[in-house]
Amino acid sequence: MLYSELVGKTKKEAPKDEESINAKLLIRGGFIHKEISGAYIFLPLGLRVLNNVVRIIREEMEAIGGQEMALTALQNPESWKTTNRWADDVIDIWFKTELNSGAETGLATTHEEPLTKLLTQHISSYKDLPIYLFQFQTKFRNELRAQGGLLRTREFLMKDLYSFNKNKEDFEKYYEKAKQAYIKIWDRLGIGDQTYVTFASGGSFGKFSHEFQTVCEIGEDIIYIDKEKKIAVNKEVYNDDVLKELDLKKEDLEKVRGIEVGNIFPLGTRFSEALGLFYTDEKGNKKPVVMGSYGIGPGRVIGTIVELSHDDRGIIWPENIAPYKVSLIGIGKEIEKKVQEIYKELEGSEIEVLFDDRREVTPGQKFADADLIGIPYRVVVSEKTEDRVELKKRDKDKTELVTVKGLIKLLN
Amino acid sequence: MLYSELVGKTKKEAPKDEESINAKLLIRGGFIHKEISGAYIFLPLGLRVLNNVVRIIREEMEAIGGQEMALTALQNPESWKTTNRWADDVIDIWFKTELNSGAETGLATTHEEPLTKLLTQHISSYKDLPIYLFQFQTKFRNELRAQGGLLRTREFLMKDLYSFNKNKEDFEKYYEKAKQAYIKIWDRLGIGDQTYVTFASGGSFGKFSHEFQTVCEIGEDIIYIDKEKKIAVNKEVYNDDVLKELDLKKEDLEKVRGIEVGNIFPLGTRFSEALGLFYTDEKGNKKPVVMGSYGIGPGRVIGTIVELSHDDRGIIWPENIAPYKVSLIGIGKEIEKKVQEIYKELEGSEIEVLFDDRREVTPGQKFADADLIGIPYRVVVSEKTEDRVELKKRDKDKTELVTVKGLIKLLN
C-alpha cells in the first residue's frame, strides 16, 4: 500500500475530548474516528487490525467446534419478555425503537434469547447435542457514559459463542475447553503474559463465572492477582471463603486494575427452561439444555493492546495483528527508483508493506509517522545503505543493514 | 462438514407467513431464520453463501481501487440536519432512538453524511484525490412493509462504495469503471445474463443514475429491456425523449419486472458543498469534491439468485457461491467405512464437502435434502458403485460413475 493513497493520515494532536491513550494514539495514527461518543468508525488501517484480531479469534472458535452464524440486531421483544430482560429497569442499556408498522423493537445487547428460541426448532433429541454456535456481530449498549476510547463503547463488534449441552458434566468439559481456547487467543494476540483467568460472580447460576482480565491501570475492575499461579479474583467475590476454596493466600495476592477482555459464563438452564429449549434423553425423559456463553470484544482487545504496548512515539503492534508488517521509507531523490523496486519485490513476496511514498514530507516526519502507526519493522533505503537496506524493529533501537533477499527471508 | 453436526436442518414446510420462493426455500433448507418481519438470522449454511457473495464483491471493489473501512450504525444527527435528511418526512425509513445521556441518534440508512463529514479532515488538496472507500455494513431501514424474503428487509448487510473526485471528468471515468466492475460481479455471481444496466432517475443531480435490474417476476420495478443491446430503461424515466437520447426503439423493448440488485449514483457536489468537503486545486482555487455512490445488498442478491435458480425440489446454487461444492451420501451399512474414507480424502484435497452421515434417515430423504440445499455436485457411494462413485450435477439428470481420483481432479 502506498501511504500517499491510504485514507486516514496521521495527526499531530488528538481531539481534546479523548482522554485515554488508546483513543488518542488510534485517532492520531489514522486507525479510528469518533462518530458519536461511544461509536467509532474504523478507517482502513483500523479495519486491518480489527480483521486480524477477528481472524485469530475465529480460528480458535472453529478449533473447539464452533459453527459461525449471524444473528440480527433488531430484536423481537417476546423472547426477552419471557426471560424478564426486556424492561429497562432490568436491562438499562437497551436502545429501543419502533417499526413504522407500529411494533416495538430493540437493538440486541447480547443474544441468548433469540438463539435459544431459534434452537427450539432444531433441538429435540439428545442426538442433536452438543451444539456450539458463534458470531461476530455488532452489539448496541446504551451506556450512560462511554469511556476509555475503544474500551467501553455503545456500538461494537462482539464475538459471542454459545454452548448447548445435554448435562452439566458435558457443559463443564466444554467450558474448560473454551477457557483454554481463550488463553491461546490472548497468547496469539500478544497479551497472554498480562492476562489472568479471573474468578468472578456466577450470577444466578453457578458460584463463579470467569473473566479474562488484562492488568492495566486504566482498567475499570479491581482484581487480586496471584502471579505465581497465574490466576486472579475479582473484587466482587474476594473474601476469605473464596480464597480458601481457591487455595489462594492473601499474602500472595497483588491488588491491581484490570480490563475485562473476555468472559465465559455458565448459564445453566435459565434460558432453556424459560424459552422451552428441551430435549429427550436416551431414556425418553424431557430435559432442559445446559447452556454457556463466551464473549470477546475485538475492539476492546485492540484498545487494551494499545494501552499496554506503546511508547512516547506511538503504538507498538504485536506482529500478529499489525496492519502491515513493514513500513518502507526512502531517503533522497537518487534512490526513488530503487525503493520502488524494493516495494514491488516485497509485495511480490506477499509481505504486507506500507510504503511512505510522500515527496513533500521530510524523512524525520516519515520516521515519526511510522513510529506512531507502530508497524513492527521499519525498512529505510538511502544512498548510505548502498546495496543494502536499514532494518529496525519498532520496539528496539538497534538498526542493521541487510540485503533485500535477507529481508524477505527474515519476514516470510 | 458432517450434516449430522450442522446447525440448521431442512424442514418439510415453510412458515405460512412467507410468500416468496426465496424465503421459503432458504428457510426450508436451513439457511436463514426470521427473527422479526424484515430481519433474518443467517444460519451456518446461509452465512457461508453470504460470505462467498461478499468475497466476490470485495475482490472487485479492491480491483477498482476501493479501500475497505467500517462506518458506524449509530449516527450523529448534526450532519444529517445539515443536508436536510434527518427529518422523518424527508427520509421516512429512519429508526430513531436516544442515548441514555439524552442525545438523539438514529441508525444509518446509508452513509453519505458521516463519510463526507469525516473526509473534511482528510482532504484539503487536489493531491489528496481521488479517494474510493467501501464497506460491508449493516443498514437499518424502517420499511413500512418488509417483503419478498431477503429482497426487502429492515436490517441487511450492504456494500456501499463512495467515490471522491476532483471534477466531473474524473468522476465520470470512475463511474464507468465501477459500472464495468458491477457487470463483472453479476457474471461471477451467475446472474449476468439476466441482469441489465438500467437507466433510472438521477434525482436532483444528473439526468440518470444506473440500476442493475435482474429480470424476475417477483421484482418490484417495471423496466423496459432491449435484449439485443443488453440495456434497460426504468419505467420512471421511460418516455419518448429518453428513448431517443438512448437510441432505443419502442418496438425493440420488452416490458418486464426486475429486482434492483445494485445501483450506482452520481451525487455531484450536493453532499460536499453542504458538509464543507472542499479541496484546493492546482491553481489555488477552492472547489467542492465530486461524489458518487455505489451500492449492492448481498442478501438481496442471494434472494434474487434463489428466485432465478431453483426447481420443484429446491435451490440450485451457482458454483461460485454454493455453501459447499459437494454433497456426499452413502447408501448401506456395508460402505460406511468406504464413504468415511472418501469424505476424508475430499476434505484433504480442500474440496468443501457436506457429508450426510445421518443413520436414521433413508437414502430418499438424503437425496431430497441434498436437492433442497442445492449443492452443485452430488456424490453417492453404494455397493452398486463398486470401486467408483456416482456423480450427478444438481442441475442435470445424468449420473456418471467416476473414480475418487477422477472426482478430485474434476472438482479441484
Cβ of residue B74 closer than 8 Å to a chain A Cβ: yes
Q: Which three cell numbers stand for residue A120?
A: 427450539
**Res. A206: pLDDT tops 90:** no
Cβ of residue A68 closer than 8 Å to a chain B Cβ: yes
Indicate which CATH number applies to the domain containing A353.
3.40.50.800
Q: Is the peptide bond before B130 cis (omega within 30 degrees of 0)?
A: yes
Residue A219 resides in a domain: no
ipTM of the complex: 0.96
Average pLDDT over every residue of A303-322: 97
Q: How far is CA B49 from the centre of its chain?
A: 10
**Res. B202: pLDDT tops 90:** no
Average pLDDT over every residue of B121-134: 96
Same domain, B287 and B333: no
Task: Tell me which chain B residue has its CA closest to the CA of residue A106.
Answer: B97
**Res. A311: pLDDT tops 90:** yes
Work out the burial of residue B408: count CB atoms within 10 Å of its CB; fewer than 13 is exposed, 13-18 middle, 19 or more buried. middle
d(CA B57, CA B294): 12
d(CA B42, CA B129): 38
**Residues near A167 by Cβ (< 8 Å), separated by ≥ 6?**
A287, A290
Task: Name the phi and psi angles at A19, rounded to 5.
Answer: -105, -30
- Looking up cell 433510472 gives B200
Mutate which of B52, B67, B86 to disrupt the A interface (most A C-beta within 10 Å)? B67
**Residues near A176 by Cβ (< 8 Å), separated by ≥ 6?**
none
* Chain B residues in contact with A26 (beta carbon < 8 A): none
The H or E element spanning position B300 is helix B298-308
pLDDT digits (tens, 9 = 90+) for A324-360: 999 999 999 999 999 999 999 999 999 999 999 999 8
* Chain A residues in contact with B32 (beta carbon < 8 A): none
Nearest CB to B72; choose among A41, A73, A121: A41
Residue B1 resides in a domain: no
Contact state of A100 with B93 under an 8 Å Cβ cutoff: yes
Alpha carbons within 13 angstroms on the beta-carbon side of residue A3 total: 29
Task: Tell me which chain B residue has its CA closest to the CA of residue A108.
Answer: B35
Same domain, A262 and A382: no
d(CA A189, CA B23): 40
Nearest CB to B9; choose among A6, A122, A145: A122
Domain count, chain A: 2
Per DSSP, A289 falls in state P
Helix axis angle, A298-308 to A21-28, nearest 10°:
100
Q: What is the pLDDT of residue B199?
A: 97
d(CA A182, CA A172): 15
CA distance A325 to chain B (A): 18
DSSP symbols for A46-114: HHHHHHHHHHHHHHHHHHTT-EE-B--SEE-HHHHHHTT--STTTSTT-EEEE-TTS-EEEE-S--HHH
Q: What is the largest CA-CA distance in chain A?
A: 82
Same domain, B116 and B208: yes
Q: Which three cell numbers stand for residue A333?
A: 531523490
Mutate which of A62, A99, A145, A165 to disrupt the B interface (most B C-beta within 10 Å)? A99
Q: Which three cell numbers stand for residue B59?
A: 475482490
Domain that residue A381 falls in: 326-411
Mutate which of B12, B43, B49, B72 to disrupt the A interface (most A C-beta within 10 Å)? B72
Neighbours of B24 (CB within 10 A): 18
**Res. B224: pLDDT tops 90:** yes
pLDDT digits (tens, 9 = 90+) for B343-361: 999 999 999 999 999 998 9
**Res. B205: pLDDT tops 70:** no
Residue B8 resides in a domain: no
Strand order in the sheet with A95-98: A74-75, A104-107, A95-98
Residue B206 resides in a domain: yes
* Chain B residues in contact with A8 (beta carbon < 8 A): 122
CA A375-A378-A379 angle, to 5 degrees, is 145
Same domain, A407 and A296: no
The H or E element spanning position B175 is helix B168-188
Same domain, B270 and B302: yes
- Looking up cell 450470577 gives A203
pLDDT digits (tens, 9 = 90+) for A181-192: 999 999 999 999
Helix axis angle, A336-348 to A404-411, nearest 10°:
30
- Of B255, B285, B311, the one marking the end of a domain is B311
Q: What is the pLDDT of residue A202?
A: 87
* Chain B residues in contact with A47 (beta carbon < 8 A): 68-70
Model confidence band, residue A207 (pLDDT cutoffs 50, 70, 90)? confident
pLDDT digits (tens, 9 = 90+) for B233-260: 999 999 999 999 999 999 999 999 999 9
Q: What is the pLDDT of residue A205?
A: 66
* Chain B residues in contact with A101 (beta carbon < 8 A): 37, 144-145
Taking only residues 82 to 111 of chain A, the set having a beta carbon closer than 8 angstroms to any beta carbon of chain B reads 92-93, 95-101, 103, 105, 107
Residue A34 resides in a domain: yes
Nearest CB to B41; choose among A69, A97, A98: A69
Instruction: Determine the 3-state secondary structure of A321 from DSSP.
Output: coil
d(CA A253, CA A210): 18
* Chain B residues in contact with A13 (beta carbon < 8 A): none
Same domain, B301 and B347: no
pLDDT digits (tens, 9 = 90+) for A357-411: 999 899 999 999 999 999 999 999 999 998 999 999 999 999 999 999 999 999 9
pLDDT digits (tens, 9 = 90+) for A235-287: 999 999 999 999 999 999 999 999 999 999 999 999 999 999 999 999 999 99
Mutate which of A4, A41, A96, A165 to disrupt the B interface (most B C-beta within 10 Å)? A41
* Chain A residues in contact with B69 (beta carbon < 8 A): 7, 41-44, 46-47
CA distance B239 to chain A (A): 34
Q: What is the pLDDT of residue B400?
A: 96
Residue A246 resides in a domain: no
d(CA A325, CA A407): 12
Residue A318 resides in a domain: no
Same domain, A162 and A307: yes
Identity of residue B339? V
Interstrand relation of A208-215 and B95-98 (parallel, antiparallel or unpaired): unpaired
* Chain A residues in contact with B97 (beta carbon < 8 A): 95-97, 107
Work out the burial of residue B179: count CB atoms within 10 Å of its CB; fewer than 13 is exposed, 13-18 middle, 19 or more buried. middle
The H or E element spanning position A407 is helix A404-411
Identity of residue A63? A
Q: Which three cell numbers stand for residue B98?
A: 436516544
CA A164-A165-A168 angle, to 5 degrees, is 125
Q: How far is CA B167 from the centre of its chain?
A: 30
**Residues near B221 by Cβ (< 8 Å), separated by ≥ 6?**
B211, B213, B234, B235, B257, B258, B259, B260
CA A128-A133-A134 angle, to 5 degrees, is 180
CA distance B192 to chain A (A): 28
**Residues near B238 by Cβ (< 8 Å), separated by ≥ 6?**
B224
Size of interface A-B (CB pairs under 8 A): 148
* Chain A residues in contact with B86 (beta carbon < 8 A): none
Average pLDDT over every residue of B24-38: 97
Cβ of residue B403 closer than 8 Å to a chain A Cβ: no
Roughly how many angstroms between the first and final C-alpha of chain B, as a whole number? 18
- Of A281, A311, A341, the one marking the end of a domain is A311
Identity of residue A175? Y
The H or E element spanning position B131 is strand B131-140
Nearest CB to A71; choose among B41, B100, B127: B41
Average pLDDT score, chain A = 96
Which residue, A375, A216, A192, A181, is CA-closest to A304? Answer: A216
Neighbours of A17 (CB within 10 A): 8
Average pLDDT over every residue of B180-198: 98
Average pLDDT score, chain B = 96
Contact state of B68 with A44 under an 8 Å Cβ cutoff: yes
Contact state of B35 with A72 under an 8 Å Cβ cutoff: yes
**Res. B206: pLDDT tops 80:** no
Contact state of A99 with B8 under an 8 Å Cβ cutoff: no
CA distance A169 to chain B (A): 20
**Residues near A395 by Cβ (< 8 Å), separated by ≥ 6?**
A316, A376
Per DSSP, B289 falls in state P
Mutate which of A40, A67, A128 to disrupt the B interface (most B C-beta within 10 Å)? A67
Cβ of residue A292 closer than 8 Å to a chain B Cβ: no
**Res. A179: pLDDT tops 80:** yes
Q: Where does B154-312 show beta strands of DSSP type E?
A: 155-165, 195-201, 208-215, 221-226, 231-234, 254-268, 278-280, 286-288, 290-296, 310-311
**Residues near A385 by Cβ (< 8 Å), separated by ≥ 6?**
A401
* Chain B residues in contact with A5 (beta carbon < 8 A): 67
Q: Which three cell numbers stand for residue A391?
A: 532494518
Q: What is the pLDDT of residue A275?
A: 98
Same domain, A261 and A402: no
Nearest CB to A36; choose among B8, B76, B92: B76
Same domain, A41 and A186: yes
Same domain, A183 and A72: yes
Residue A225 resides in a domain: no
pLDDT digits (tens, 9 = 90+) for A126-173: 999 999 999 999 999 999 999 899 999 999 999 999 999 999 999 999
Same domain, B76 and B32: yes
Cβ of residue A73 closer than 8 Å to a chain B Cβ: yes
Nearest CB to B144; choose among A33, A98, A101: A101
Neighbours of A397 (CB within 10 A): 6
- Of B246, B278, B311, the one marking the end of a domain is B311
d(CA A171, CA A153): 31
Task: Tell me which chain A residue has its CA closest to the CA of residue B116.
Answer: A35
Q: Are A151 and A259 in contact (CB under 8 A)?
A: yes
d(CA B395, CA B190): 14
Task: Tell me which chain A residue has its CA closest to the CA of residue B15.
Answer: A121
Indicate which CATH number applies to the domain containing B61.
3.30.930.10
**Res. B203: pLDDT tops 80:** no
* Chain A residues in contact with B140 (beta carbon < 8 A): 73-74
CA distance A254 to chain B (A): 36
* Chain A residues in contact with B61 (beta carbon < 8 A): none
Same domain, A389 and A332: yes
- Looking up cell 468472559 gives A263
Taking only residues 313 to 332 of chain B, the set having a beta carbon closer than 8 angstroms to any beta carbon of chain A reads none
Task: Tell me which chain A residue has its CA closest to the CA of residue B97.
Answer: A97
Cβ of residue B125 closer than 8 Å to a chain A Cβ: no
Cβ of residue B145 closer than 8 Å to a chain A Cβ: yes
d(CA B232, CA B240): 14
Q: What is the pLDDT of residue B207?
A: 84
Mutate which of A32, A36, A92, A121 to disrupt the B interface (most B C-beta within 10 Å)? A36
Cβ of residue B2 closer than 8 Å to a chain A Cβ: no
d(CA A22, CA A261): 14
pLDDT digits (tens, 9 = 90+) for A273-310: 999 999 999 999 999 999 999 999 999 999 999 999 99
**Res. B204: pLDDT tops 80:** no
**Res. B366: pLDDT tops 90:** yes
